[in-house]
C-alpha cells in the first residue's frame, strides 16, 4: 500500500537492521485517517469470504483490527496478554515469546466469544518471527474456529514470520513489506 510505504519513509525510524519504530503514527500516537484507510484496504482484500470475526493481540494490533472490523461490520475479539498462567476453565490459553520485550506471556481468549461456527481473520501491526501470529492461531484453533488468514500492516520480510504462517497453510496479506533495514535506511520488497 503506497500510502503506508510513503508514511514509513517519511516518519518511520529504522533503529538498526531489526527494529522499526513507528511510534508517531501506529504504536504510540495514531494517525486515524491512515489507520482507517489501512482497515478498509484489509477489509476489501478479504471481502466475500464469510469472515465472522476479526481477532488481534493486545495492544498495538487493536487499532488496525478495529478499523478492519468497522469496515467489515463484524465484531473484534482481543486476545489478551497476562503475565502468568491463571487456572480458569472458561479461557483458552497459550504461551507466547515476545520479540520486543524478550519475555514470555500468556495469551488468553474467553470461550464466550468464539465457537466452531466462526471464520476468523487475524490482524496485527507487525509480522517479524511470527511467534505472536502462531500463538494466536493456536489459541483460535482450540475453539475449532477456522482461520481466513493473517493481515498485517508491516511485514519484515527478512524475518521468518511469513514462511512460518504459509507453511501452516495461512494466507498472509501485508500492506508494507520491508526487504532490508539498517540504521536510517529502509528498503521495501
Ligand atoms: P513476532 O511474534 O512476529 O516476532 O513479533 C510480533 C510482534 O512484535 C508484533 O505484534 C509487534 O508488536 C512486535 N514487533 C516485532 N518487530 C517489531 C518492530 O520492528 N517494531 C515494532 N514497533 N514492533 C515490532
Closest residue by Cα to residue 36 from 2, 66, 62: 66
- Residue owning the nearest CA to atom 22 of ligand 1: 21
User: Phi-psi bin for 144: left (phi > 0), alpha (psi -120 to 50), beta?
Assistant: left
pLDDT tens for each residue of the chain, 189 residues long:
999 999 999 999 999 999 999 999 999 999 999 999 999 999 999 999 999 999 999 999 999 999 999 999 999 999 999 877 777 889 999 988 776 667 888 999 999 999 999 999 999 999 999 999 999 999 999 999 999 999 999 999 999 999 999 999 999 999 999 999 999 999 999
User: Where does residue 73 rank: exposed (0-12), middle (13-18), buried (19+ CB within 10 A)?
Assistant: exposed
In this prediction, residue 129 carries a pLDDT of 94
Nearest to 47, CA basis, from 141, 124, 149, 140 = 149
Q: Specify whether the CB–CB gap between 120 and 150 falls below 8 A.
A: no
Give the residues surrounding ligand 1 with Cβ less than 6 Å away: 19-22, 27, 60, 99-100, 124-133, 161
Nine-digit cell string for 166? 504459509
Report the distance separating Cα 105 and Cα 131, nearest Å: 12
Question: Nearest C-alpha to atom 11 of ligand 1 is from which residue?
Answer: 126
State the closest ligand 1 atom to the C-alpha of 19, by its place in the atom list counted from 1.
19
Closest ligand 1 atom to 127 CA: 3
pTM attached to this predicted model = 0.96
CA distance 189 to 174: 11
Output the pLDDT for position 100.
Answer: 62
CA 2 to chain centre: 19
pLDDT, position 107: 93
Report pLDDT for 87: 75
In angstroms, how far is CA 7 from the centroid of its own chain? 19
Substitution site in 20, 95, 132, 159 for ligand 1 pocket (most atoms within 8 Å of beta carbon):
132
Amino acid at each position: 500500500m503506497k500510502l503506508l510505504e510513503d508514511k514509513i519513509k517519511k516518519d518511520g525510524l529504522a533503529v538498526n537492521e531489526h527494529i522499526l519504530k513507528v511510534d508517531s503514527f501506529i504504536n504510540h500516537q495514531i494517525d486515524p485517517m491512515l489507520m482507517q484507510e489501512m482497515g478498509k484496504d484489509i477489509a476489501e482484500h478479504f471481502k466475500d469470504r464469510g469472515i465472522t470475526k476479526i481477532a488481534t493481540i493486545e495492544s498495538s494490533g487493536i487499532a488496525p483490527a478495529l478499523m478492519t472490523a468497522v469496515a467489515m461490520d463484524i465484531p473484534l475479539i482481543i486476545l489478551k496478554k497476562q503475565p502468568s498462567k491463571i487456572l480458569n476453565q472458561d479461557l483458552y490459553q497459550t504461551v507466547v515469546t515476545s520479540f520486543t520485550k524478550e519475555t514470555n506471556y500468556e495469551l488468553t481468549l474467553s470461550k464466550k466469544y468464539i465457537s466452531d461456527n466462526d471464520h476468523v481473520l487475524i490482524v496485527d501491526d507487525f509480522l517479524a518471527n511470527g511467534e505472536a501470529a502462531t500463538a494466536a492461531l493456536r489459541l483460535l484453533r482450540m475453539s475449532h474456529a477456522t482461520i481466513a488468514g493473517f493481515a498485517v500492516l508491516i511485514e519484515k520480510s527478512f524475518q521468518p514470520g511469513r514462511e512460518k504462517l504459509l507453511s501452516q497453510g495461512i494466507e498472509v496479506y501485508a500492506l508494507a513489506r520491508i526487504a532490508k533495514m539498517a540504521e536510517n535506511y529502509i528498503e521495501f520488497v
